[in-house]
Every structure is written in C-alpha cells, then in structure tokens.
A and B are shown apart, each in its own frame.
Chain A
Amino acid sequence: MALLKLRESQIMKIHYLTAIAALFAVAVHILFRLIMPFGQSLAYPNVIANYHNIFYVLLLESILILISIHGFNGLRVILLELRQTPWWESTITILVLISMIGVIAYGTRTIVIAGGL
C-alpha cells in the first residue's frame, strides 16, 4: 500500500497542512452558528437549509476529511510513541486508516441524505 510507504516526514507535513486548513474551515463552520442566536441556528429548518447550500456542503465535507486525517494520524503518532515494532506499526496504521475511512464515509452519508431532505 502506497500510504504505508509514505515517509514519516511526509506524513507530518500532511498532519500540519490538514491542521492549518481545518483551522480556517472550522472557523467558518462556527461563524455559521453565530450569525443568529446559537439556539436558533440549531433549529431543524435552519440546519437543513445549511445542507442545501453547496458551498456549506463542500465546507462540511472538507472539515470531515481534514479533521479525520489529522485526528486519526495524531492517534497513530501517540500509539507509535508507546511501542515500536514493525507488527505494531503496521497494525496501528491499518486500523487507523480503516477508522478514518469509516468516519468519512458515515459523515458523507449524512451530508448526502440531509442534502436531499
């Protein structure tokens, strides 16, 4: 697998770039909750209306992908600090990749279905 063959320095560059990109994307996501009273912004019609805005949908999908990559790679880094053997490193990398893809797939499902409501 090509992903397993990435050098650690390349993975850390991805880690930092996803962090910086997520910072801006999450800031816009939070601003959307603050353009009206917080409780009101979470009312069902308002939230569904957000999912009908293509730019907001793209923003949500970006946040989902960026934070999944950054978060699960961070978890991988922590777990690799605790133990270093080839079996452990490969197992953790594969498990983390599967979890990351699972969360992205589940979140994308919500975005697609809510967009059609």
Chain B
Amino acid sequence: MDSGREGIGGWLNPTRYGWERVSYWLQRLTGLGLLIYFIGHVYETSSLTNGINAWNSMLALTQTLGGHIFLLFVIGASTFHTVNGIRLIFTESGKGLGKPGRPDYPYKAASLNYKQKSGIWVAVLLACIAMLYGGMVLFGEGG
C-alpha cells in the first residue's frame, strides 16, 4: 500500500503549491545553511586560541572574493530566515490568518491571504537590501 510519504523529494517539490511552499522550504534550507555556517564560525573563531599567526591564516581564507560572496549569501539567508520566521511566529499565534469561512468555489483558503504573501515578499526584499548593504561594507573601503 502506498504510504503517501514522499520524503525529501516531496519536501522540495515547489509545484502544486504556491509561494507559501517556496517560503516553507526556503525557511528550512536557510536554517540548515545557517546552522552549518554557525558551526563553521565557532570553529573558525577558535583559531584565536592558537595565536596571531593561526588567526591571520584563518582570516586569509575568508578575506577573499569567494569568502566575501559566501558572506553575502549568509547575510541574505539570515535576513530572510529572520523576517520570515517573525511572520511564522505571528501565524502560529493566529495573527494574519483571516477568518474561517464556508469553502466556496474556487476554494481559496482564507489563511493563504495577501498578508501572508506580502510577508514573504517583504522577507525577500529585506534580504536583498541586507545583501546590498553587506556588499557595500565588504567590498567598500576597509572591507
């Protein structure tokens, strides 16, 4: 019997669903990425304990074009994850879900409304602005 379980394939499948689905997996992918970055950052910072040469060697790996581009992605991911996470906290506490109503054709769910969609777009927009600002700091004078 088909268990109906689609695993990671189903988790990543953006079709059949709207922007809420894209936001669902972006929240998880950015979360996983940020956890990996966090562990790497804790490890990278530990080079401090081995003295100035170890610190400068570790810093040389990150103070490159590739390192700065990677940091820009971290900035974008953390901003999206934060803003979309705040939307999800409001949603889980029942805010912005709309009022339940009779399911009439074309069966649009009240919960998937403009408030939710605009929340997702605000998260994307702020992530882009944060990346732009991050780029100015990283690639600007003294970066």
Contact = CB atoms under 8 A, between A and B. Distances in A.
Nearest to A110: B46
B143 interface: yes
Nearest to B88: A16
Given A42-B59, A44-B52, A106 B11 contact: no
A115 to B, nearest CB: 10
A51 B141 CA distance: 26
Given A38-B142, A78-B28, A109 B46 contact: yes
Interface size range of chain B in the complex? 20 to 34
Contacts, number: 76
A117 B11 contact: no
Interface string B8-36: 10010000000000000000100110110
Contacts of B56: 44
A113 B46 CA distance: 9
Interface in A73-114: 74-75, 78, 81-82, 103, 106-107, 109-110, 113-114
Given A71-B38, A103-B42, A109-B46, A82 B7 contact: yes
B121 interface: no
Q: Is the interface of B mostly helix, strand, loop or mixed?
A: helix
Interface in A19-40: 19-20, 23, 26, 34, 36-40
B137 A38 contact: yes
Interface of A: 12, 16, 19-20, 23, 26, 34, 36-40, 42, 44, 47-48, 51, 64, 67-68, 71-72, 74-75, 78, 81-82, 103, 106-107, 109-110, 113-114, 117
9 contacts: A16-B92, A20-B89, A36-B142, A44-B52, A44-B55, A75-B31, A81-B11, A103-B39, A106-B43
